[in-house]
Amino acid sequence: MVKVAVVEGDGIGREVVPVARDILAAVRPDIEFFDVEVGYGRWERTGSACGEETIADLRSADAILFGAVTTPPDPGYRSVLLQIRHALDLYANVRPIRGEGVDVVIVRENTEGLYSGIEWTEPDRACTVRVVSRRGSERIARYACPLAKSRRHLTVGNKANVLKSDCLFVEVCTAEAARAGVSCRTSYIDALCLDLLMHPDRYDVIVTTNIFGDILSDAAAYLVGGLGMLPSANIGERHALFEPVHGSAPDIAGKNVANPVAAIQSAAMLLEHLGDPASAAVVEEAVDRVLRAGIRTPDLGGVAGTREFGAAVLREVGRGK
């Protein structure tokens, strides 16, 4: 029996996660799902968006399927996802971007950088500390280098011309790439954002620090049809969480129009992580066939609803098994 924790969250998380979960259940009837509640509603009720017992529940799972959680820009509120990433030490955020003429993987350091959680507010200023440690850089470099070696090459996205912290990041990543025999270059993150959009074929694996990876991946979604298309994995030594790159999208929530592809492909990454690449391929190919048949949600110019798209993928999964 495999145990998968399901965190729908709120907004479109409640719409796309059930679709992904049904597809997982169809390909792997041995998965036992259990729901975990986090987020604003829990915060209002209990004063904590994500309690100790929530973390304990998540730790007990073989893998976590996560939707999205609305985070109000309130200094008193700490992002649930950041809490989970820190508590489960999910240090590698892997964001594949695949489409016509595009095959890039962004590997984002996921526990430190500008999201280290070391911050405070004073009456007339507020400070956030950007931490880049040798250990943190080494472990993300050791994740990215073998991946780049199995593919083509590595780009280290950075701003070392301005940030001392990135001098260390670049030093560690380039040294690790040399040790691993990986072809590697460095690129300033601002120029990289534009060049990736103009010449995606120049890129393969991109390793970068936390906020740069966050921004770069949302921008890169442009290459493949938008945020509804990008899945991700958050990987640690002991735990793993799979989620769409997008957020709770309050502007379209509750209308059955959200694109569930990102969530479904995140479920495929979860299957891969469970050591079941065959089922992952069944899911990925089913999604491809449905898209090729012209069944699409409105963000891709189609008329299919979230649930109708999911039902079409389920039918294809049935054929592909």
Q: Please give the residue ranges that form the binding site for ligand NAI (CB under 6 A).
A: 9, 12, 16, 68-71, 81, 227-228, 243, 246-252, 258-259, 262, 299
Q: In angstroms, what is the minimal distance from the CB of 77 to ligand NAI?
A: 10
Nearer to Mg ion, 214 or 316 (CB): 214
Judge whether 143 and 176 are in contact, CB under 8 Å.
no
Q: Is 251 an annotated catalytic residue? A: no
**Of the listed 10, 40, 91, 115, which one is catalytic?**
115
**Residue 203 annotated as catalytic:** no
For the question of residue 74 being annotated catalytic, the response is no
CA–CA gap between residue 212 and residue 236 (Å, rounded)? 20
Q: Which of 195, 218, 288, 299 is catalytic?
A: 218
* Min dist. Cβ of residue 261 to Mg ion (A): 17
Catalytic annotation present for 218: yes
Q: How far is the CB of 146 from ligand NAI (least distance, A)?
A: 26
Binding of residue 214 to Mg ion (CB under 5 A):
yes
Of the listed pieces 24-32, 179-187, 207-215, 221-229, which binds Mg ion according to CB under 5 A? 207-215
Q: Choose the one of ligand NAI, Mg ion, none that binds residue 214, judging by a C-beta under 5 to 8 angstroms depending on kind.
A: Mg ion
In the complex, residue closest to Mg ion by CB:
214
Residue 159 among the catalytic residues: yes
Distance of closest approach, residue 94 Cβ to ligand NAI, in angstroms: 14
| Catalytic center residues | 115, 159, 190, 214, 218
| Chain contacts with Mg ion (rule: CB under 5 A) | 214
